[in-house]
Amino acid sequence: MALIKGNFIDNIGRVYGIYTGGFIAFIILMAILEQMGVGADTIGILFVAFTIAIYALIGWLSRTMEVDAYYVAGRQVPAVYNGMATAADWMSGASFVALAGGVYFGGYGYMAFIIGWTGGYVLVNSLMAPYLRKFGCYTVPDFIGTRYGGNLARLCAVIVLVVASFTYVTAQINATGTIAARALHIPFEVGVWFGLLGILLCSMLGGMRAVTWTQVAQYIVLIIAYLVPVIWMSNTQGFGIIPHFSYGGAASRMAELEALYTLSPPAEAVPGLSVLTTPHTGPVGDLAEWKFVTLALCMMAGTASLPHILMRYFTTPSVRSARKSVAWSLLFIFLLYFTAPALATLTKLQLLDPNLPTAIIGKSIEEVQNLAWIQNWSSVGFLAVVDQNGDGILQLNEFFMRPDIVVLATPEIAGLPYVISGLVAAGGMAAAMSTADGLLLAIANALSHDLYYKIIDPKADTAVRLVVARVLLVIIGAAAALIASLQLTGILGAVAWAFCFACSGLFFPLVLGVWWKRANMPGAVAGMIFGFVAGSAYLYYVYTGGTPWMGIDHLRFGIVGMAVSLVAMVAVTLMTAEPDEETKRMVDETRVPTGPAILAAKH
C-alpha cells in the first residue's frame, strides 16, 4: 500500500478517490457483462450485494471499544467529509426513493418537502449546530439534560427522540424492503429483514465512527445513481445534459398531455397503488398555498430538531468545522433536491408523450401488459394495469403505480440499459441504509447513554455501556423491521410524521435552550410534554377521520404541536424561578465559538 502512508484521516481523500474509481470501474464491468448476455436479475443482485459487502467491510474496519469513537467518531471528522456523511444521513429512502414519486403524483404541493428540507438547514446552521458542538454533548438529550438540569428533562427528550426516530427508521427499512423485493425477487416482508441485516452490519461494531465512514461511501454511490438516469433521459428527450435549467419545456408539454388524456379518478381503486389525478404544476384545491407553507414549516422545524442530524455535527474537531460542515451538507443535498423535480417530470413524459417510443398511455392493454418492466413490477404487487372501461386501450386512470417506485422504475420506463437499473437500486439501498444507520444509532445512543448510564446506572463501565448500546441497536432494528413489514403508511407519510413528532417536542426546548437564558427546566419539560402530546393527539384525531382544522392534516400536525410547545414553555418558564447564575454563564459560553467545550471530552 505504497499509496497510503500514515493514518486514515491523513489519507482520507486518497482512500475515497480510490473507492470512487473502483465503483465506476464496477459499473463499467456490469455494463460489459450485460452486453455479454448476463441476465438482468444477476446484474441487480451483483450491484446490491457488492455495495452492501463494501459497507459491511468499512463497518468491520471501523470497529471500536472507545466511548468517544463510538458516540462521536472521536470528534475528528473533517468538515467536507462530515458534509457528505450528513447528506447521506439526510437523503433517506424518502429523498431518494419517494420524493420524486411524490412530485410525480402530487405535483406542485410536494415541492414543499424540498423547500422545507433544504430551508431546515438554514435553521440548523444559524440556530443549532455550532452551539451544540460547542456544548460538547454526545446526544441531543445530553444537551437538554445538562442545559436544563435534572433527569426529568433528559427523560422527556429521550422519549420524543425515540418516537420520532423510530417512526423515521420504519420508513427507511420499508424502502430497503421495496428495493430488495425488486432487485432480489423476494417478498417485501422478507426484504425488510434483509435490509435490516445490511444496516446492522454497518453500525453495530463501530457506532458513529463506522456509520460516518460508510455514509461517505454511500453518498458517493447514491449521488451517482441519482444523476446518471436523469442526465441520460434529458439528453435523449432533447433537453441537454443539464436538465435542471432546461426542463421547463417538459413541464409545458406535461400540461398539454394532461389536457389531452384528462385527469380523472379510476372507476375502481387498487389498494396501495395510485393513478395520476393531480396537475403537474400549479396549486390544487382549497387552502393550497396555506397547506404548502405549513408543510414547509413543519419540515424546516423538523429538520432542525431531528437528533440523528444534529448529532452529526458533534463529530467535527471544532465549532468552526461544524459551521463549515453545514455549508458542505447543503451543497451535497442540493445536488439531489435540485434534480428530483426534473426526474419526476422527465419520467412522466416518458410514459405519456406519444412522440417518445417508451410511452404507454393510449396503447393497447395487451401490448402494455407484455412489456417486461410492467410484468416485473406487477409480479411484486407494486404496479397494475387494469382495463376498467373494457375498451382495450390503456387510459391514464387505468395505470396504477406505487409512488415509492417511480425512481427505482425510471431506468426501465425510459428504456435504459439494465445496468442503470442496478445502479439506481444500489443508490436507493445506500440512501435508505445510511439514514437508518444514523437513526438506529441515535436511538440506541440515547437509551444507552442518557437513560442507562446517566439515569439508571451512572457507575457502569465503558464495556457495559457499549454492550448495552449494541444490544439495543439489534432490538430496536428488529422492532422497526416488524413494523415496516406491516406497511401501515407510505414512505413519505411516515417521514412527515417523524418530522412533526420531532418539532412538536424538541424544536423550542432546543432553540430557547441556546438563545434564551431565562428558559428553565420546568418550562422545557412543559414545552416537550404539552407540545408532543398535543401534536400526537391531533394526529390521532385527523388520522381516525376527524375534520382537519384549517387544512392541517396528518402530514402537518407539527404546526399544532409547535404552537402548544412554545406557549407552554414560555408561560411555565415565566411563572417559575429563573435558572441560577452558573447556568446562565453556561448559556453565554455556549454562544462563544472559541474556547473549550462546556462538557468534558469523556463524560
pLDDT in tens, 278-332: 887 766 677 888 888 999 999 999 988 887 778 788 888 888 888 888 889 888 9
Cα–Cα nearest to 55, from 187, 206, 226: 206
Q: What's the pLDDT band for 464 if we cut at 50, 70, 90?
A: confident
Cα pseudo-dihedral 459, 461, 466, 472, rounded to 10:
-30
Q: Three-state secondary structure along 543-591?
A: HCCCCCECCECCCCCHHHHHHHHHHHHHHHHHHCCCCCHHHHHHHHHHC
**Percent of the chain scoring above 70 in pLDDT:** 95
User: Distance between CA atoms of 290 and 444, rounded to whole angstroms?
Assistant: 37
Which region among 138-142, 145-149, 154-158, 355-359 has the lowest average model confidence (pLDDT)?
138-142
pLDDT score for 578 = 93
Q: What's the pLDDT band for 574 if we cut at 50, 70, 90?
A: very high
Q: Is the pLDDT of residue 2 over 70?
A: no
Average model confidence (pLDDT) across the chain: 85
- CB contact at 8 A, 273 and 400: yes
Q: Can you read off the three cell numbers belonging to residue 238? A: 432533447
Q: What's the pLDDT band for 406 if we cut at 50, 70, 90?
A: confident
Q: Is the pLDDT of residue 122 over 90?
A: no
User: Distance between CA atoms of 308 and 299, rounded to whole angstroms?
Assistant: 15
pLDDT score for 296 = 92
Q: Can you read off the three cell numbers belonging to residue 464? A: 457495559
Cα→Cα distances 449→240, 384, 415, Å: 52, 48, 50
What angle (nearest 5°) sits at the alpha carbon of residue 183, between those of residues 180 and 184? 75
Q: What's the pLDDT band for 113 if we cut at 50, 70, 90?
A: confident
CA distance from start to end of the chain: 38
Which ranges in 91-247 belong to alpha helices (H)?
Answer: 93, 99-106, 111-123, 129-135, 140-148, 151-184, 188-203, 207-237
DSSP string, 220-238: HHHHHHHHHHHHHHHHHHT
* Position with higher pLDDT, 382 vs 509: 509
- CB contact at 8 A, 429 and 179: yes
pTM reported for the whole predicted model: 0.82
The 10 Å CB-count burial string (b at 16+, else e) for 107-136 is bbbbbbbbbbbbbbbebbbebbbbbbbbbb
Which region among 60-74, 252-266, 381-395 has the lowest average model confidence (pLDDT)?
60-74
* Position with higher pLDDT, 464 vs 182: 464
- CB contact at 8 A, 515 and 123: no
Neighbours of 596 (CB within 10 A): 10
Cα→Cα distances 59→13, 18, 202, 216, 567, Å: 18, 18, 4, 12, 44
Q: Which helix (H) or strand (E) holds 429?
A: helix 418-445
Mean pLDDT, range 559-579, rounded to an integer = 96
User: Distance between CA atoms of 118 and 355, rounded to whole angstroms?
Assistant: 35
Give me the half-sphere count of Cα atoms (radius 13 Å) on the Cβ side of residue 511: 24
pLDDT score for 184 = 75
User: Distance between CA atoms of 356 and 391, rounded to whole angstroms?
Assistant: 23
The phi and psi torsions of 383 (rounded to 5 degrees) equal -155, 150
pLDDT score for 204 = 67
**Percent of the chain scoring above 90 in pLDDT:** 27
Amino acid found at 19: Y
pLDDT score for 1 = 45
Q: Provide CB contacts within 8 A for 492, sequence distance 6+.
A: 94, 98, 99, 101, 102, 113, 171, 403, 404
DSSP string, 317-369: SSHHHHHHHHHHHHHHHHHHHTTHHHHHHHHHHHHH-TTSTT--TTSBHHHHH
Please, what are the domains in the chain?
Answer: 39-356+385-591 (1.20.1730.10)
